């Protein structure tokens, strides 16, 4: 082992002097030679060329430094290492806490921004609704791009319909009114005797989600009688094909339960699926012939309250919506613009039905009254209130297809047939003290009328008012529809759609 004659420590780069034979650290002896020019031990003249490099074995381990040659020195070294590790850990913890604080501040800022955006959206919607109300009375039509949400459409002063829409309504009325006077039940239509034989025919179970469960509305296609549309408490609109037992479309977009669904089927145009919900909006989907699927067409947000009524005008070009905000509105199904919005009524509207000739609109209220409006002017044509009845909500109304009668509840447990030519109640049908009416419906021939409620479905004959049949095996039924040619009666019970008809 060599030791440097200057530092007394093992040299990293050892050299030996030819003059004195002493071993030095190269960098130390070179510095000494530069400053003094002599050998530090003997004092003889020494130059760099007098130094000879010593080549040591590279595998030889370097000796321990003097500070690590005793137990106290080793303990001190370990203590220093431990202190360094602890200091580094402390620094990392500080950085971690700092990052947590920064993240927390960022999250609070994001939450505050979200709240601000939500408030601004509410203010925007309120401003749009205010603009819609002002536009409805002043005849102003804000721009609205195709496929966008609908807030307002073309309106006219004095509450009337735009001229083009009014012309469509009048033409439809003239054509249908003339045909109605000669209308008879189609050949092969179900008779009262056949209806008496109806029994359970088919059940389609487990439609819609089980939480929250329940079908709230039902519509059957006239062009394709095997297809039907349902709306549920699960906020979904579902199109189903009975022949194939398959769901053709499951349509989302509502944020609350669906109150009403309807088809718009017009020759030469795409089929529209329409829904109205408790979330104050109506949605329209259009059938895309290229993909064979239903795609969102527009969302109508004109009402301030829950939508409690939906009906397609006989012309298939106008949609009517009733709401608890005490107004009803009409929308063009070609441009999807609002074309009319009524003035506020004294009472909220709880149900809606369009006259088969397309000129009258019946709207139920929670004050036992049915208001009849003239679609063309927006004026009240009649107000129907049952005599001597306790207050109740008119949650369902239905015009007869011959246009002469209107069906609706006249108490909590009975339904009245109003003769619109008088107008007065032609008859009142008692359903039993415990019966709760969910929906009333006339069939296409105006020979049958049905009621769905908590005790099932009952079907009566028009004019004779005879009860033809009742179906109680499904429990409570929320919606009822008469099938093609009156050969079937459809009902929505829980998550099931039940079909009654002639026994196979």
pLDDT tens across 396-432, in order? 999 998 889 999 999 989 999 999 988 899 999 999 9
User: Residue 472 pLDDT more than 60?
Assistant: yes
CATH superfamily of 209-501: YVTN repeat-like/Quinoprotein amine dehydrogenase (2.130.10.10)
14-63 is classed in which CATH architecture? 2-Layer Sandwich (3.30)
Closest CA to 254 of 238, 272, 270, 271: 238
Integer Cα distance of 193 and 459 in angstroms: 12
Reading the block at residue 21, the tokens are 């034979």
**pLDDT higher at 3 or 359:** 359
At 41-97, the pLDDT tens digits run: 888 899 988 899 988 665 556 666 666 678 888 888 889 999 999 999 999 999 999
Cβ-based burial of 202 (10 A; exposed 0-12, middle 13-18, buried ≥19): middle
Q: Is 194 helix (H, G, I), strand (E, B) or coil?
A: helix
Q: How many CA atoms lie within 13 A of 303 on its CB side?
A: 31
Q: Domains of the chain: which residue ranges?
A: 14-63, 69-142, 209-501
HEC string for 62-131:
CCCCHHHCCHHHHHHHHHHHHHHHHHHHHHHHHHHHHHHHHHHHHHHHHHHHHHHHHHHHHHHHHHHHHH
Flag whether the pTM goes above 0.85: no
Lowest mean pLDDT: which of 49-58, 106-115, 144-153, 238-247? 144-153
The model's confidence at residue 7, banded by pLDDT at 50, 70 and 90, is: confident
What are residue 320's phi and psi, to 5 degrees? -110, 135
At 177-219, the pLDDT tens digits run: 887 766 677 788 999 999 999 999 999 998 898 888 899 999 9
Planar angle of CA 364, 370, 376, nearest 5 degrees: 95
CA distances from 457 to 164, 243, 418, 439, 492 (A): 42, 24, 21, 10, 10
> What is the predicted pLDDT for the residue at 460?
96
Residue count (the chain) = 504
Planar angle of CA 343, 393, 216, nearest 5 degrees: 95
What is the residue-wise DSSP string for 297-338? EEEE---SS-EEEEEE-TTSSEEEEEETTS-EEEEETTT--E
> What is the predicted pLDDT for the residue at 146?
44
Say yes or no: do domains 14-63 and 209-501 share a fold. no
């Amino acid at each position: 082992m060599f030791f440097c004659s200057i530092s007394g420590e093992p040299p990293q780069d050892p050299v030996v002097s030819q003059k004195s034979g002493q071993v030095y650290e190269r960098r130390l002896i070179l510095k000494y030679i530069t400053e003094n020019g002599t050998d530090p031990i003997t004092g003889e003249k020494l130059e760099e060329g007098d130094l000879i490099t010593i080549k040591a074995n590279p595998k030889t381990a370097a000796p321990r430094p003097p500070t690590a040659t005793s137990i106290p020195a080793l303990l001190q070294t370990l203590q220093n290492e431990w202190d360094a590790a602890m200091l580094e850990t402390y620094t990392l913890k500080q950085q971690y806490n700092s990052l947590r604080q920064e993240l927390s501040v960022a999250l609070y800022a994001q939450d505050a921004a979200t709240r601000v955006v939500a408030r601004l959206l509410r203010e925007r919607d309120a401003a749009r609704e205010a603009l819609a109300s002002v536009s409805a009375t002043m005849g102003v039509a804000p721009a609205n791009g195709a496929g966008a949400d609908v807030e307002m459409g073309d309106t006219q002063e004095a509450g009337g319909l735009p001229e083009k829409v009014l012309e469509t309504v009048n033409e439809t009325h003239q054509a249908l009114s003339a045909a109605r006077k000669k209308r008879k039940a189609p050949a092969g239509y179900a008779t009262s005797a056949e209806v008496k034989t109806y029994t359970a025919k088919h059940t389609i179970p487990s439609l819609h989600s089980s939480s929250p469960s329940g079908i709230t509305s039902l519509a059957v296609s006239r062009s394709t009688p095997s297809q039907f549309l349902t709306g549920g408490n699960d906020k979904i609109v579902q199109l189903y094909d009975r022949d194939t037992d398959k769901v053709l479309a499951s349509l989302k977009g509502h944020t609350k339960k669906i109150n009403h669904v309807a088809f718009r089927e017009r020759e030469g145009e795409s089929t529209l699926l329409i829904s109205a919900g408790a979330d104050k909006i109506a949605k329209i989907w259009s059938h895309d012939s290229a993909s064979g699927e239903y795609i969102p067409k527009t969302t109508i947000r004109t009402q301030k309250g829950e939508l409690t009524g939906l009906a397609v005008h006989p012309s298939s070009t106008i949609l009517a919506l009733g709401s608890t905000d005490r107004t009803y509105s009409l929308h063009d199904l070609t441009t999807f613009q609002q074309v009319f919005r009524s003035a506020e009524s004294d009472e909220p509207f709880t149900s809606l039905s369009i006259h088969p000739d397309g000129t009258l609109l019946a709207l139920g209220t929670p004050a036992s009254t049915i208001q009849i409006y003239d679609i063309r002017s927006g004026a009240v044509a009649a107000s129907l209130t049952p005599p001597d009845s306790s207050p109740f909500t008119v949650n369902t109304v239905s015009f007869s297809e011959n246009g002469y009668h209107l069906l609706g509840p006249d108490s909590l447990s009975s339904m009245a047939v109003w003769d619109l030519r008088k107008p007065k109640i032609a008859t009142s049908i008692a359903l039993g003290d415990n019966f709760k009416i969910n929906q009333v419906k006339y069939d296409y021939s105006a020979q049958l009328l049905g009621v769905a409620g908590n005790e099932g479905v009952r079907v009566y004959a028009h004019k004779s008012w005879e009860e033809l049949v009742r179906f109680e095996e499904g429990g409570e039924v929320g919606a009822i529809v008469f099938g093609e040619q009156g050969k079937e009666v459809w009902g929505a019970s829980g998550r099931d759609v039940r079909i009654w008809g002639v026994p196979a």
